A = this chain, B = another copy of it.
Amino acid sequence: MENFVYERCTKIIFGKETEKLVGREVKKFAKKIMLLYGMGSIKESGLFDTVLKSLKNEGIEVIEHGGVRPNPTLNFAREAIKIAKEKKVEMILAVGGGSVIDTAKAIALGAKYSGDVWDFAEKKAIATEALPVGVILTIPAAGSESSQYSVLTNEDGPYPLKRDVIVENNQLIRPQFAILNPVLTFTLPPFQTACGVSDILAHVMERYFTNVKDVDLTDRLCEATMKTVINNGLIVMKEPENYSARAEVMWAGSIAHNDLLATGRAGDFASHMIEHELSGNYDIAHGAGLSIIFPAWMKYVYKYNVARFAQFAARVWNVDDNFFSPEAMALEGINRITNFYKELGLPTTLKEAKIPAVRFEEMAEKAVKLGNIKKTNAEDIVEIYKLSVG
């Protein structure tokens, strides 16, 4: 086990009707806020009115700002930062999923910074201040509600760049509170639900796949979370209004990405970076990109740690022990996760996603190079793209 520091201060308020408590929580931080949201579904569902009422009851002034899109852009954040500065808002309240929350974090940083917020992504500057961020979560997926991450796409250059706005102080833009009501996820379309399940599972796998030894507790916590996501992920696809299953997926989504599961171990994260090039370039949903990349990545790297992939197969996918051939177990595990993605209705090949088998070298060159099972270089990444063609 490696040394670590673990500090996670997001207050999670979980359960039915909890969105009605938002005014009380916001009031602890601000009197004037930017209420950030996406494409307007929160207005159709009535959530917007509920939130506004709770805020008004506490006398909070609200600057409404909608229009965040999936794979959110730097330019949208820049515009919102301008407004946040002009209006002197004191907090950003994100009502939505990962795209809205990631954008809110960037706005929170930018509002306290005189330069361009992309400076942080390019490591040209170190963030030292930010407005507080609050969250009402509507899509369990990105885990952004209790993470320090903010991923934006910069479309200014010759090709889009999807990057994390890096914050060294990992409490700086971690949300102060996150309200999670599983009922708000009942109306998510099946594809979006499936993409969320895929993203959550991926966040655990990125931490699970490591060559670091003696990580028994976190291995088992990861396996516990994966089994929960898999079992309940299949239920929510069939029963979108099953509260219990929605609740399991939603809470697992936060735990998957708040780094408890990474304590004492280095994660892999190659797949996430390889996928970012797909969704940055082709505007495929992140979760659907992951269901394509993960099986290919696994096929390419499992030989670097057969024991770990065999353990994954046994403990997560209930593959029978085969001590004569752990490799056979590893491969059966990869087979089962591929079938799981299919059962969710997600693509497992580029062909199914109608993404052309081109520009692999270009994307591999651009991709952030990470990896712990194997640090993937550009050639590795090209091979992984090839394995994902189908």
Q: Determine the residue in chain B with the shortest Cβ distance to A177.
A: B7
Assess whether B221 is in contact with A217, with CB atoms less than 8 Å apart: no
- Residue A41 lies at the interface, judged by CB distance under 8 Å to chain B: no
Given contacts A3-B14, A9-B7, contact A247 B264 (CB under 8 A): yes
A244 to chain B, nearest CB (A): 4
- Residue A224 lies at the interface, judged by CB distance under 8 Å to chain B: yes
Residues of B within 8 A of A1 (CB): 15, 243-244, 247-248, 251
Assess whether B220 is in contact with A224, with CB atoms less than 8 Å apart: yes
A242 to chain B, nearest CB (A): 9
A22 to chain B, nearest CB (A): 13
Q: Determine the residue in chain B with the shortest Cβ distance to A235.
A: B216
Q: How far is the CA of A16 from the CA of B224 in the complex (A)?
A: 28
Assess whether A6 is in contact with B2, with CB atoms less than 8 Å apart: no
Assess whether A228 is in contact with B247, with CB atoms less than 8 Å apart: no
Q: Choose among A1, A10, A264 the residue with the greatest number of B CB atoms under 10 Å from its CB.
A: A1
Q: Determine the residue in chain B with the shortest Cβ distance to A247.
A: B1
- Residue A227 lies at the interface, judged by CB distance under 8 Å to chain B: yes
A252 to chain B, nearest CB (A): 5
Write the A199-216 contact mask toward B (1 if CB under 8 angstroms, else 0). 000000000000001101
Count of chain copies: 2
- Residue A223 lies at the interface, judged by CB distance under 8 Å to chain B: yes
Residues of B within 8 A of A7 (CB): 9-12
Assess whether B9 is in contact with A14, with CB atoms less than 8 Å apart: no
Residues of B within 8 A of A2 (CB): 15
Q: How far is the CA of A255 from the CA of B11 in the complex (A)?
A: 17
Residues of B within 8 A of A9 (CB): 7-9
Q: Determine the residue in chain B with the shortest Cβ distance to A178.
A: B6
Q: How far is the CA of A243 from the CA of B225 in the complex (A)?
A: 26
- Residue A358 lies at the interface, judged by CB distance under 8 Å to chain B: no
A224 to chain B, nearest CB (A): 3
- Residue A263 lies at the interface, judged by CB distance under 8 Å to chain B: yes
Picked from B4, B15, B228, B244, the residue with its CB within 8 Å of the CB of A4 is B15
- Residue A128 lies at the interface, judged by CB distance under 8 Å to chain B: no
Residues of B within 8 A of A214 (CB): 243-244, 247-248
Residues of B within 8 A of A10 (CB): 7
Q: How far is the CA of A8 from the CA of B18 in the complex (A)?
A: 19
Interface residues of A in 16-45 (CB under 8 A from B): 16, 18
Q: How far is the CA of A7 from the CA of B213 in the complex (A)?
A: 30
Assess whether B3 is in contact with A248, with CB atoms less than 8 Å apart: no
Q: How far is the CA of A2 from the CA of B247 in the complex (A)?
A: 10
Assess whether B216 is in contact with A220, with CB atoms less than 8 Å apart: no
Residues of B within 8 A of A224 (CB): 217, 220-221, 223-224
Assess whether B232 is in contact with A228, with CB atoms less than 8 Å apart: no
Assess whether A251 is in contact with B232, with CB atoms less than 8 Å apart: no
Other 13 A-B pairs with CB < 8 A, given A4-B15, A6-B14, A220-B227 = A1-B248, A3-B14, A3-B18, A5-B11, A7-B12, A14-B264, A213-B244, A214-B248, A216-B244, A217-B255, A221-B224, A251-B263, A255-B260
**When A and B form their complex, which 3 residue pairs have the shortest distance between CB atoms, in order from nearest?**
A3-B15, A220-B224, A214-B244
5 A-B pairs with CB atoms under 8 Å apart are: A3-B18, A15-B264, A216-B228, A247-B264, A251-B263
